[in-house]
Structure 1
Amino acid sequence: MNLLFVCTGNTCRSPMAEAIAKHLSNDIHIKSAGVYAVEGSAASIHTVEALSEQGVPINHSSQGLTKNLVDWATYIFTMTQSHKDMIVRQYPESLPKIYTIKEFAQNSQSDVMDPYGGPIEVYRQTFNELNEVVQALLKELEKNR
């Protein structure tokens, strides 16, 4: 199974979700990308700090969303409805495998808070939010295996 987490710049939310999922599961292939990512950027300093405070390792270099990644993914999980809409417009064939992360994991229509540019406290809140959602997502995927 191949999971792809997608956010805007691939430096905060999607790398955080990727790192959490990798930390919690060792039998799933996991990547992340951004719809407007600059290739090769590191995860934001606060993303790395919020993860390391919780003992979650991260080794990240940002990448943009490509057709190859869309084709690779079994499931694509976006941080917001607008990310999902953008991907479906660009890759309509991805519709059956694309969900917002909260839609799939919690049957919720809400988006994951974007911590970009905020203080470390906001990144900690995003970590807590994503940690809860990713755990629920992995449980849902386990049910569907």
Structure 2
Amino acid sequence: MNVLFVCTGNTCRSPMAEGILRDMAEKKGMEITVKSAGVFAYDGEKASREAIEVMEYSGIDISNHRASLVHKKLMEEADLIITMSYSHKDVLIRKFPFAKEKIFTLKEYAYGVDGDVIDPFGRGIAAYSRTKNELTDSINQLIVKLND
């Protein structure tokens, strides 16, 4: 299973989600390849300092993450594409219509509900911590669905 997480700049939410899923899958012995990208990312940019810091609290190291702009090959390789917001999903469907059936927002896939993952960018460490907790809860549910 190849999972791709997508957000805006690929420096906050999607790298945190990538790290969380990779960590959870490894602990459960699941064979999942996890990548992340952004719809407006600058290739090679590091994860934000706050994202790295809150992930360290959970024992997950994303300090080597480098941002990647979403591209056709990533979309083709992914079995499941999870966006952080409906606007990300909409951009991907318009740009890569061939992948429409495998694109979901995280909350849509995990819980079957509408809703975006809080964007912590520029809001301080407490916002990043809330986003990490939101991602962790949703990705736990995503794993349950993948194991069904």
- Shorter chain as denominator, the TM-score bin is over 0.9
- Counterpart of 1:86 in structure 2 is 91
- Counterpart of 2:47 in structure 1 is 43
In structure 1, stretches of 5+ residues that fail to align are none
Contact persistence 1:23–1:57 (CA under 8 A): no
- Counterpart of 2:37 in structure 1 is 33
Aligned-pair identity in percent equals: 45
Q: Cα deviations across residues 22-76 of structure 1 (Å, max 9, x unaligned)?
A: 0100310000000000000110000000000111222300000000000010000
Runs of 4+ in structure 1 off by over 6 angstroms are none
The DSSP-based 3-state class of the residue aligned with 2:115 is coil
- Counterpart of 2:7 in structure 1 is 7
- Counterpart of 1:21 in structure 2 is 21
Query: 1:8, 1:23 → 2: CA distance?
Result: 22
1:115 corresponds to which of 111, 120, 142:
120
Amino acid of the structure 2 residue aligned with 1:108: V
In structure 2, stretches of 5+ residues that fail to align are none
TM-score, length-scaled by structure 1: 0.97
The DSSP-based 3-state class of the residue aligned with 2:81 is strand
C-alpha RMSD of the superposition: 0.6
Q: Kindly tell me the number of residue pairs found equivalent between the two proteins.
A: 143
Q: Cα deviations across residues 93-117 of structure 1 (Å, max 9, x unaligned)?
A: 1111000011000111010000001
C-alpha displacement of 1:85: 0.6
Amino acid of the structure 2 residue aligned with 1:30: V
